[in-house]
Amino acid sequence: MKSAHLTTKQMMILVCFISFGTIFFTLPRTLAQASGHSGWLSILLGSLMVIPTFWLITQIGSAMQEMSIIAYCLSLFGPVFGRVYALLFLLPLLFFAAIIIRILAEIIVSLVLPETPLELVIIMLLVLRYYLAQGGMLSIARWGEIIAPVIVLMFVTMFALSMENVDLERIEPFFSASLMEVWKGSLGICSTFSEMIVLLYIYPQIKKKAQVLPALLWSMFIVLCLFEVTFLITMGTYGSAFTQRLMFPVIELVKDIAIFEFIEHLESPFLAVWIFINITKNSLLFYACCVGSRDWFGTIDIGNLMIPISIIIFYLSMIPDNINASIVSFEIAKGVTFWLYAFVLLTILWLAGKMKARRTANEKPA
């Protein structure tokens, strides 16, 4: 397995993919259901709420030195309780890796390959991210760099061509929701950004660690702008009531795009771009699962763990019964709980690290 020294640009591309990848196609629906026309305000509030989590990530990352978050838990809490506490980080990561690949497979089957067995698509996606992750973080980061310009071009094209269908009256009123509804919508956004804690699994491989916090903030700002534009254009095209009924509002948005009035049905290339984003995100999550499992079991090489973890992820991904359970129920559950869950775990870890550092300093001879 090759070691890597990720540049700041590579790290920003990866964390943008982490936040933007899975939620993009369903974002307008979930926000419209939670906070109606005020979904744009939920995006802004949720982005601001996650800043303390970013600060915790950088503080813990600096304290870990050359360890991943799982090894750091073991060093703080010992081999027994440390492994128990580390599971609180590792098990949700495995679950996210499984459910994201299930969501991706569901969308491919429902929109592109309706006659293909879901299990076959999941296996195919697992093989893709297995080979991408096999090259290590450098392979994943370079793949992200290659596809990033294509993704930017496609999204600029989508936003520009969709503007002619936008009616400002469908977006108004901008402040239609109560504070509680705005708060409810912001939780999903905050939980989405909180997925960036995956960086703590690969923190030793980041080249310029002093730039991590500014990079996280800039990445959040970029994704925030993409979320805002996506939400406002979708709402301006369909209105709140109709957007709430669409499973994949952005797909419907792309279907309505026409170039020169004769090039239509552009959803396939946009879906392909979205698949590229999620393959990158899935590969990073899979690699992080392997790194975390290696440190938890105390092995040396993550290569021996990749196939067993792939099998575990496959069976976990098959747990949801249908597309509604795998997409809608997952969004609701994660939106309500994950931000607070991650923040509490990171806060405890940060405090434990501070206490250990203070205890070590007091034990040193004067």
Q: Which residue from 2, 110, 58 is spatially nearest to 214, judged by alpha carbons?
A: 58
Tell me what pLDDT residue 84 has. Answer: 94
* Other beta carbons less than 10 A from residue 32's beta carbon: 26
Q: Which residue from 293, 364, 32, 68 is spatially nearest to 184, judged by alpha carbons?
A: 32
Tell me what pLDDT residue 1 has. Answer: 47
Is the separation of the CB atoms in 234 and 40 below 8 Å? no
Tell me what pLDDT residue 3 has. Answer: 56
- Tell me the per-residue pLDDT of 107-133, one tens digit each, with 9 for 90 and over: 888 877 888 898 999 999 999 889 888
Burial of 198 (0-12, 13-18, 19+ CB in 10 A): buried
Tell me what pLDDT residue 268 has. Answer: 74
Is the separation of the CB atoms in 111 and 251 below 8 Å? yes
Q: Which residue from 163, 123, 159, 151 is spatially nearest to 280, judged by alpha carbons?
A: 151
Which stretches of 116-211 are DSSP H helices?
118-134, 136-162, 168-171, 179-194, 199-202
- Tell me the per-residue pLDDT of 67-81, one tens digit each, with 9 for 90 and over: 889 999 999 999 899
Tell me what pLDDT residue 261 has. Answer: 61
Tell me what pLDDT residue 36 has. Answer: 87
pTM higher than 0.85: yes
Query: What percentage of the chain carries pLDDT values higher than 90?
Result: 36
Is the separation of the CB atoms in 243 and 29 below 8 Å? yes
Tell me what pLDDT residue 4 has. Answer: 62
- Tell me the per-residue pLDDT of 251-308, one tens digit each, with 9 for 90 and over: 888 777 766 665 666 677 788 888 888 888 989 999 999 999 999 998 878 888 899 9
- How large is the average pLDDT for residues 55-66? 91
